[in-house]
Structure 1
Amino acid sequence: MTDAAPRLRALAEQLLGVPLPIRIRAWDGSASGPPDAPTLVVRHRRALRRLLWKPGELGLARAWVAGEIDIEGDLYAALERIAGLLWENDGPTRRRLDLARDPKIRAAARELVRLAGPLPPPPPPAEEVGRRSGPLHTKIRDRQAISHHYDVGNDFYELVLGPSMVYSCAYWTEDGSLDDAQRDKLELICRKLDLKEGRRLLDVGCGWGSMAIHAAREHGVHVVGITLSREQAAYARKRIAEEGLTDRIEIRVQDYRDVKDGPYDAISSIGMAEHVGSGRYLEYARDLHALLRPGGRLLNHQIARRPEVDEGAYEIDEFIDAYVFPDGELAPVGRTVGLLEDAGFEVRDLESIREHYALTLRKWVANLEADWERAVRLSSPGRARVWRLYMAACALSFDRNRIGVNQVLAVKTPESGVSGLPLRSREWRT
């Protein structure tokens, strides 16, 4: 058989109802589609069995992680060409295909079965999160989710993130490097929090210690950093010792719900609140509010999704949930601001830096691709493929305004009403 690609192309167009904007090359050597387009390579018919047993995004993700499908050519260009099929609200993949009533769809499904072969469903790749049970966002389940994502290996993260070891959106100028942009982001946060000598900072979700080190070294504050990742904590403590800052920084493996040693003058939460969950967010905001002194500031740096017309219909991304951030949830920024206010905060400033994250992700993808063989050795072929796809797809999501990222500055304003912010609050930009 040397006609698998034309048959696959015809099936895809029949199921989607639109022309397929990429080329296909199949396991039998056949190809179909525009010769100058990015190419979807279907290396093994096992990929079709994954789609039969798990139609949609998760089936495709499993085939990608297993190396059964691939992209030849520019990955971003390929994702751009299929973005309308996957993402637009009125895109064909949003339609519910009624297999019982549509004879054309039933015929296409039978043809797909013939192409896939009559074998049982392949097991999911090892990198997929196992079956989860019990309530979302308990302390145990959150610790397991964080371990899945962050305990991949510090050497792997060094390769992707570069020397800054900052795993959140950088703050770019026209000609700066990734390290410059991450330093500028940390400095911007310090200025927004008005960090000064002798003040006390809680860094929630401290990662590998970059914010704690910058705040202590450049602004003279005392920092408590908390993380649920033991690998991150060990790495951060080593860096802090090398910087000679052990008298100013304490790193704990601790849940934010267990921090009881307030008050703090300031709290930074950078890329952590996405793990809290919508059902726990008000509790999270109240806990941080209680840990601040009157007049203390919170800087909440958080990814946001666009609001849905029907919020009850919002579904968590299957690929991200299974392979990247188990139990992670994104909320519209308006809901986040509302919950911070419900917890007692006065929200004083919101800065969207959406385009900055698209640039950051592209730099991380470039780092990964530039040292691909080492990335595979440090993790696994599947894990490296997960990261390449997720970061590239996220870069396009930020580009297309499907998701954004915001820095929300909030104050625990005392009863006197004196917030402590300057009249021109954005003086931190100078």
Structure 2
Amino acid sequence: MAPPSPASTVTDPPPRPVATPPQLDTAPQQLVAGLLGRADIRINGDRPWDMRLHDPAALERALAEGNLGLGEAYMAGAWDCDQLDGFFDHLLRAHLNREIQPARLAWHALQVRVFNRQSRTRAWQVGKAHYDLGNDFYEAMLDPRLAYSCGYWRDADTLAAAQEAKLELICRKLGLRPGMRVLDIGCGWGSLMGFAAERYGVQCIGVTVSKEQAAWARERYAGLPLEFRLQDYRELDASSLGGPVDRLVSVGMFEHVGRKNHGAYMEVAARCLADDGLFLLHTIGKNRRDSVPDRWIDKHIFPNGDLPSVGQVGDAIDGLFVAEDLHNFGADYDRTLMAWHANFEAAWPRFAARLGETFHRKWRYYLLSCAGAFRARELQLWQWVLSKDGVRGGYRRSV
């Protein structure tokens, strides 16, 4: 038989090098791997929510520092995951965050309980650190109105539609009518104020601690009966507003108030609102009163943030307001965050040189870990409707 011609010779390709998985040599590393296994998360597994470990020291950081260590290790590239949202859904469904309580968390917990971390001077820090990142950045990530809070997805299939549905929901719950005066505490980029003025013919005053937000809103809504103030909420009273307002609203701002200031915040709201007015409070909430703010979020995303529990809100309104309605649509925040993340990743090439890869990983971790937390129902989103003395005949939600 003639030998095969060179053209027909078939040779096996050289074997691909196989990366050696990092060895878990220490007891802390093995302990964390075991805990993750209880949440159905495998180290170097092949499912999208499994952890791909590049440096085993990341596990020791997670054990020593909780989410602060885990998140900073991710920012440094010590581990990866194809679906961080799925990773955190599994982790939080298994309540592993309640089992890993590092000793270093004790000082953070003491600070939260003893000191007022949201004082008048410190309240401006989150504006500078987070909301003043750049209006072009937020324009790329958010919807056209720059609504930076949970959308309402019941009948919506796009982010823009979900945010407009949320704004409409708020306006209808408040029973807005032409000529009413509305105060928006923590107005952001003015999404609700602009919507309410355009659709319902109301006048609005909004306060924010972000210079960038105030500047953008003033330009965007020039010509409408809207006033945007760079001001701390504690400076507000009826006289500074030209008399009590008919309606008061606060969307995504109460998370920055802090447990030491909940009562003072509600007193401000009461002194600004007309006796027959309504107050809608839209806030992220936590399931347990005794939990403390996440250290990674506190350090890298929202300085001095402090999510309230139902009980803490109840304590704050005691003697000041009647709770007319409480609506939880926290599951919708998962979808909102995933939409923001998709926009963020699509726009990232525009910001990569300015912000850098560490920021890229940080922001991805923020958006997707929060999506996983809402998916696991570890976090909630509440809309409270409050009145001073109870709506005569009862409050009727119009939606």
Q: Paired residue for 2:186?
A: 205
Separation in 2 of the partners of 1:55 and 1:184?
40
Decide whether the 8 Å contact of 1:159 with 1:375 is kept in 2.
no
Decide whether the 8 Å contact of 1:170 with 1:184 is kept in 2.
yes
Separation in 2 of the partners of 1:234 and 1:410?
30
Change in CA separation of 1:76 and 1:138 when aligned onto 2, cut-off 3 Å: closer
1:75 CA drift (Å): 2.5
Query: Residue type of the partner of 2:204?
Result: V
Decide whether the 8 Å contact of 1:264 with 1:291 is kept in 2.
yes
Describe the SS at the equivalent of 2:307.
coil
1:356 CA drift (Å): 1.4
Separation in 1 of the partners of 2:80 and 2:372?
16
Residues 240-259 of structure 1 show CA distances to partners (whole Å, capped at 9, x for unaligned) of: 12xx31xx001110111112
Separation in 1 of the partners of 2:248 and 2:191?
15
Q: Paired residue for 2:83?
A: 74
Q: Paired residue for 1:120?
A: none
1:330 CA drift (Å): 1.2
Separation in 2 of the partners of 1:9 and 1:35?
23
Separation in 1 of the partners of 2:375 and 2:94?
17
Alignment of 1:43-58 (within 5 A): 43=54, 48=58, 51=61, 55-58=65-68
Alignment of 1:272-311 (within 5 A): 272-308=253-289, 311=290
Q: Paired residue for 1:108?
A: none
Decide whether the 8 Å contact of 1:150 with 1:229 is kept in 2.
yes
- Unmatched runs of 5 consecutive residues or more in structure 2: 1-18, 105-110
Identity, in percent, stands at 34
User: Is residue 18 of structure 2 the alignment partner of residue 5 of structure 1?
Assistant: no
Change in CA separation of 1:23 and 1:239 when aligned onto 2, cut-off 3 Å: same
User: Is residue 378 of structure 2 the alignment partner of residue 369 of structure 1?
Assistant: no
1:96 CA drift (Å): 7.6
Alignment of 1:377-392 (within 5 A): 377=353, 379-392=355-368
Alignment of 1:170-185 (within 5 A): 170-185=151-166
Decide whether the 8 Å contact of 1:305 with 1:403 is kept in 2.
yes
Query: Residue type of the partner of 2:350?
Result: R
Separation in 2 of the partners of 1:84 and 1:408?
26
TM-score by length of 1: 0.77
Separation in 2 of the partners of 1:50 and 1:376?
30
Query: Residue type of the partner of 2:75?
Result: V
Describe the SS at the equivalent of 1:201.
strand
User: Is residue 302 of structure 2 the alignment partner of residue 325 of structure 1?
Assistant: yes
Q: Paired residue for 2:171?
A: 190
TM-score by length of 2: 0.83
User: Is residue 377 of structure 2 the alignment partner of residue 406 of structure 1?
Assistant: no
Which of these residues, 325, 334, 357, is aligned with residue 311 of structure 2? Answer: 334
1:220 CA drift (Å): 0.8
Change in CA separation of 1:143 and 1:5 when aligned onto 2, cut-off 3 Å: same
Separation in 2 of the partners of 1:196 and 1:336?
28
Q: Paired residue for 1:425?
A: 396
1:8 CA drift (Å): 5.8
User: Is residue 277 of structure 2 the alignment partner of residue 266 of structure 1?
Assistant: no
Decide whether the 8 Å contact of 2:36 with 2:91 is kept in 1.
no
Which of these residues, 149, 162, 177, is aligned with residue 168 of structure 1? Answer: 149
Separation in 2 of the partners of 1:8 and 1:363?
40
Cα RMSD (Å)? 3.0
1:213 CA drift (Å): 0.4
1:402 CA drift (Å): 1.0
1:73 CA drift (Å): 2.2
Q: How many residues align?
A: 368
Decide whether the 8 Å contact of 1:302 with 1:405 is kept in 2.
yes
Decide whether the 8 Å contact of 1:368 with 1:375 is kept in 2.
no
Query: Residue type of the partner of 1:143?
Result: W
Query: Residue type of the partner of 1:425?
Result: R
User: Is residue 35 of structure 2 the alignment partner of residue 64 of structure 1?
Assistant: no
Decide whether the 8 Å contact of 1:40 with 1:69 is kept in 2.
no
Change in CA separation of 1:51 and 1:423 when aligned onto 2, cut-off 3 Å: closer
1:400 CA drift (Å): 1.6
Decide whether the 8 Å contact of 1:375 with 1:384 is kept in 2.
no
Residues 68-91 of structure 1 show CA distances to partners (whole Å, capped at 9, x for unaligned) of: 2242422333334444566364x4
Separation in 2 of the partners of 1:78 and 1:134?
33
Describe the SS at the equivalent of 2:22.
helix
1:324 CA drift (Å): 1.1
1:148 CA drift (Å): 0.9
Residues 302-325 of structure 1 show CA distances to partners (whole Å, capped at 9, x for unaligned) of: 1110025xx3xx232111111111
Decide whether the 8 Å contact of 1:333 with 1:406 is kept in 2.
no
Separation in 1 of the partners of 2:197 and 2:384?
22
Separation in 2 of the partners of 1:357 and 1:228?
24
Change in CA separation of 1:254 and 1:424 when aligned onto 2, cut-off 3 Å: closer
Change in CA separation of 1:187 and 1:236 when aligned onto 2, cut-off 3 Å: same
User: Is residue 359 of structure 2 the alignment partner of residue 393 of structure 1?
Assistant: no
Separation in 2 of the partners of 1:153 and 1:138?
25
Q: Could you tell which deviates more after superposition, 6-15 or 194-203?
A: 6-15
- Unmatched runs of 5 consecutive residues or more in structure 1: 25-32, 98-130
